[in-house]
Structure 1
Amino acid sequence: MDTHFLHGFSPFLFRFSETLSLRWTGAAYLVGFLLVFAMLRRQAARGEGPFQRQEVSGFVLNTGLLGVMLGGRLGFVFLHQWEDFSRDGSVFFQFRQGGASALGAVLGVLAFSVYFARQQRRPWLQVTDSLAVLAPLGFLLGALAVFMEGAPLGQVTSVPWAVRFPAEVGLPGFLPIVTPSFDVSTLAYAPGHEVAALARADATFLAELHRILPARHPVLLYQAALEGLLLGGVLLTVRALWRSRPVGLLSGLFFALHGALALACLPFREAQPNLSFAAQLEQGVLPPVLMMAVGAAFLLSVLGQRPDAVGVPASVKLEG
């Protein structure tokens, strides 16, 4: 008997009507921003880090809107929808259709952090160090949310923890692993959770789904574990144990380790067909390698400081 898990989660955490709902990805954004606000607020209350207590709410709000959401949306439009956007600029504002670039969000947060530091006359590496420790939380929540929405992104495999994704049946160009007993075109564009609901109500259809659907690596769970839990654990440990670390060390470790861990996940990810050249670059080897190079540059810079400069406190006491 097939033991691979059949993904049947709804992409909606709450659905009040056809037009009013909360998807897992939206909930991930909301929970992430609230947790970052609470953590930075607590840090500022202790007089640590680059933020004054009254600055935290505005910084988190602007980072979320201008950095994560605007940067992520800009990245997605430029990399995935450039041709449509060049013909119709309103494509950018079609938020309900979804679409955000992780690379664009990272660049957006980095750009706003530099802007904030210049405006407030703070060392910008202290700002990025504070955010570097919290960024893995966003990767963790984001990867789990996309997994819950049922994206079949992993390579086909036979490992016991592989997952079958019903959403795959409704995708254009779906190729069953064996000849199905029904016309799969009848389920074209059908949402995965609706296909799974039909299967739960019909044991024969459930068995057929297990027969025709390939089992895939749950690559998003790998990303959540590596880029979320492992990366966050390493950065928190370094921050706790190395109190006199040089400013910028956490930023360098973040970029270097995130690039390496993202690279480690690539062999388990299914190549996506019919993507633009820019989109293929975003999902390929280049972004992790660039992040590793940026991280290495940070680390060489901060660790190459004079011995008397390395002991600069990593957090500063602020009045207010």
Structure 2
Amino acid sequence: MTYPDIDPVALSIGPFEFGGQSYGPLDIHWYGLMYLLGIGIAWFLALRRAGFSHTVVQRSHVENLVTYVAFGVILGGRVGYVFFYHFDYWLSDPLWLFRVWEGGMSFHGGLLGVIVALALFSWRARLSFLALNDFVAPLVPIGLGFGRLGNFIGQELWGRQTDVPWAMVFPKDPEGLARHPSQLYQATLEGLVLFTVLYWYSSKPRPRGSVAGLFLVLYACFRIFAEFFRQPDQHIQFDLFGWVTRGQLLSLPMLFLGIGLLVWSWQRQRQRPSSGQ
């Protein structure tokens, strides 16, 4: 299959003239629009689910909560990308951390940023930290799914070489190989499937912490699986045994933490049968 001819720039505005100088044009990329779309849909669903009897979040919390989470994603994603994937380069050029316009985001860093943001918000709003994580967890896959679609449109993070019937040739690939469209695999698993399962699971009262635990387990499993089809980072390749990628390695702590959180939450529920979320 040939990659569809999609311009990664959704809209170009300008150029502009100001003070005798010409600026622009300003390019608005699909990748950024996908994130905005994901945040907007998550905001809508958060408003819809706020105030349910089994959640601690009220509609009055949602605006500030979304703001905290958005900053956590952006700051954590950037810091994670720099430290997890380009630490050596950062040591030689520390200011590169702040040149966000050069690109680079990491999900695992974004997750840590969101956890810190939720900890701050729970302290400020005097809400249960675990209950807040349970509320946010089903909304995260929306941004993940749209973000992977943005990767596909931008022709980045493509898959490994393959001869499956749906293999795709990406025009930006200097080798011109037929590859797995791994961005679409991840958009389906980390976005659509993960959202569907978590949204259904969280629609009823569950043991506190179990929704967040299920998110960690499922995302880790989906990411580890998808990494077998995704081309490893060129400058890193494999971290262990000649086949374990950086993404898989970073997902293992999520898997173990998620399993532990699920076991703890359900054991706590059995000890307190009348307790809910």
| TM-score, normalised with respect to structure 2 | 0.87
The structure-2 alpha-carbon separation of the partners of 1:82 and 1:263, relative to structure 1 and needing over 3 Å to count, comes to closer
Q: Which residue of 2 aligns with 1:202?
A: none
- Aligned to 1:15, the other structure's residue is in SS state strand
Aligned residue number for residue 62 of structure 2: 56
Within the alignment, does 1:217 sit opposite 2:222 as a pair?
no
Greater shift, 133-142 or 44-53, is seen at 44-53
Partner of 1:127: 132
1:303 to 252, 266, 270: 266
Change in CA separation of 1:284 and 1:233 when aligned onto 2, cut-off 3 Å: same
The equivalent residue for 1:193 is none
Whether the 8 Å CA contact 1:246–1:309 is kept in 2: the answer is no
The letter of the residue matching 2:11 is: F
Once the 2 structures are TM-superposed, how far is the Cα of residue 245 of structure 1 from its aligned partner? Answer: 1.7
Instruction: Give the alignment partner of residue 44 of structure 1, picking from 47, 50, 70.
Output: 50
- Assess if the C-alpha contact under 8 Å between 1:143 and 1:220 holds in 2: yes
Instruction: Classify 1:310/1:112 alpha carbon distance in 2 versus 1 (closer, same or farther; 3 Å).
Output: farther
Counterpart of 1:287 in structure 2: which amino acid? L
Q: What SS class does the counterpart of residue 111 from structure 2 fall into?
A: helix
Q: Give the stretch that moved more between structures: 44-53 or 147-156.
A: 44-53
Residue 310 to residue 132, structure 1, CA distance change in 2 (3 Å): farther
User: Could you tell me how far 1:298 is from its partner in structure 2?
Assistant: 0.4
AA aligned opposite 2:45? M
Across the aligned residues of Structure 1 and Structure 2, the Cα RMSD in angstroms comes to 2.2
Q: Show the 5 A alignment for 1:7-86.
A: 7-17=4-14, 18-44=24-50, 49-65=55-71, 67-86=72-91
Across the two proteins, how many residue pairs are aligned to each other? 265
Secondary structure at the aligned position of 1:313 is classed as coil
Does the aligned pair in 2 maintain the 1:144–1:224 contact within 8 Å? yes
* SS across alignment from 2:10: strand
The match for 1:168 among 153, 173, 189 is: 173
Which one-letter code corresponds to 1:305 in the other structure?
Answer: R
**2:113 match:** 108
Counterpart contact for 1:75–1:105, Cα < 8 Å: yes
Residue in structure 2 matched with residue 203 of structure 1 by the alignment: none
Give the aligned partner of residue 20 of structure 2. Answer: none
Question: CA–CA distance in 2 between the matches of 1:103 and 1:137?
Answer: 16
Specify which structure has the bigger relative contact order, considering alpha-carbon pairs within 8 angstroms and separated by 6 or more residues: 1
- The 8 Å contact of residues 7 and 166 in structure 1, kept in 2 or not, is answered as no
State the AA in 2 paired with 1:268: F
CA contact (8 A) 2:152 2:158 kept: no
Distance 1:137 1:237 in 2: 14
Q: Which whole-Å CA distance do the structure 1 matches of 2:273 and 2:120 have between them?
A: 25
Q: Which has the larger radius of gyration?
A: 1
Deviation (angstroms), 1:230: 0.9
Rounded to whole Å, the distance in 2 between the matches of 1:158 and 1:253 is 34
Structure-1 separation of matches of 2:54 and 2:25? 43
The alpha-carbon deviation at position 76 of structure 1 amounts to 1.2
2:277 counterpart of 1:271: no
More deviation, 138-147/263-272: 263-272
Instruction: State whether residues 151 and 157 of structure 2, in contact with CA within 8 Å, keep that contact through their aligned partners in structure 1.
Output: no
Give the unaligned 5+ runs of structure 1.
175-212, 315-320
Deviations 1:14-61 (A, max 9, x none): 122454121122112211221222222222355663223222112211
TM-score relative to the length of structure 1 = 0.76
CA contact (8 A) 2:76 2:114 kept: yes
Deviation at 1:159, TM superposition (A): 1.3
Secondary structure of the structure 2 residue equivalent to 1:255: helix
Task: Give the aligned residue type for 2:156.
Answer: A
C-alpha distance 215-306 of structure 1, shift in aligned 2 (>3 A): closer
Q: Kindly provide the amino acid, as one letter, of the partner of residue 37 in structure 1.
A: W
Match of 1:252 in 2: 213
TM-superposed CA distance for 1:234, in Å, is 1.0
Instruction: Look up the SS of the partner of 1:13 in the other structure.
Output: strand
1:244–1:311 CA contact under 8 A, matched in 2? no
Residue equivalent to 1:227: 190
